[in-house]
Amino acid sequence: MDKDDGNCKSLFWVSTELKCYVYRLIDPRNGTTFYVGRGRGNRVFAHVGARLDPGDSNEDTDLKLGTIRAIRNAGFDVQHVIHRHGMDEKTAAEVEAALIDAYPGLTNLAKGRGSDRGIMHADEIVRKFEAKPAIFAEPVLLINVNRYTEEQDLYDAVRFAWKISAKKAREAKYILAVRKGLIIGAFEAQEWLPATPKNFSALCSSFPETDPKRWGFRGREAPERVRRQYVGKRAPTQKQGAAFPIRYQSPTSIAAAE
């Protein structure tokens, strides 16, 4: 019997006691954590047996299973660690997000695009909460670019490539780049296009997320008046546990919230 199958059966009998848990998958060849997830029951072992839920991300799955296959081909077994257990879904989502921030090089594709309450330098925390909240006068898209660094072009980081409704995207007047809760750039789209090499040849070599179901835009920096209105302001806080990189924001929803 495969060792993983034995562990899976053992975990089955105690799964009700574990409730919701957060786990890590470790590569025994170098001791590195290559995936962080959360689940119930035997979820932690589902990856090794490729017994994945239909809703799992295909991109995420391909990277993860590629690592698992390489481990198996080298004659080893994936190591499984239950990092925290006995939690509700909301708490588990927070622990999972914190661990994804803490372990570099994960096969999780969602890292860096999630909550605006993620890992931050103390100075960044101060700047964020000293900033005035943004007041929206028109419909906008807020796009998290938490993976953006000073060496990158902000325009390229915010415009490519997103899982988004093209109809909703085209309704937004401006696109606002948000990094760790602060608006750092404002742009306007001239056209939204499928994220394919044909439409974005210069970007496809630098970004892995080339997918006709994703979208990107061609455009330009927003007028100075718009940049003054939004850049440097604090973006609305995401709901706890939310991990979506894109939010649609309209002036009416802001007014209602106030």
pLDDT in tens, 81-90: 999 999 999 8
pLDDT in tens, 38-58: 998 888 888 776 544 444 445
In this predicted structure, which of 11-15, 189-193, 228-232 has the lowest mean pLDDT? Answer: 11-15
95 contacts 38 by C-beta, under 8 angstroms: yes
**Cα separation, 90 vs 88, whole angstroms:** 6
Residue 116 has pLDDT above 70, yes or no: no
Largest CA distance in the chain: 67
**Cα separation, 46 vs 26, whole angstroms:** 14
Q: Quick one: pLDDT band at residue 206, thresholds 50, 70, 90? A: low
* pTM score, whole prediction: 0.60
Q: State which CATH number among 3.40.1440, 3.30.450, 1.20.1530, 3.40.720 fits the domain covering 3-102.
A: 3.40.1440
Q: What share of the chain is helix, strand, coil (3-state, %, to 5)?
A: 35, 25, 40
Domain ranges of the chain: 3-102, 122-257
Q: What end-to-end distance do the CA atoms of the chain give, in Å?
A: 60
Strand partners, 35: 25
144 contacts 114 by C-beta, under 8 angstroms: yes
237 contacts 134 by C-beta, under 8 angstroms: no
**Cα separation, 209 vs 188, whole angstroms:** 22
Q: Where are the alpha helices (DSSP H) in the chain?
A: 3-18, 43-46, 58-73, 89-102, 122-130, 154-159, 166-171, 201-204, 224-230, 251-257
State the Cα angle at 153 between 151 and 157, rounded to 5°. Answer: 110
* Residue in this structure with the two tokens 């900033």, named with its chain if needed: 131
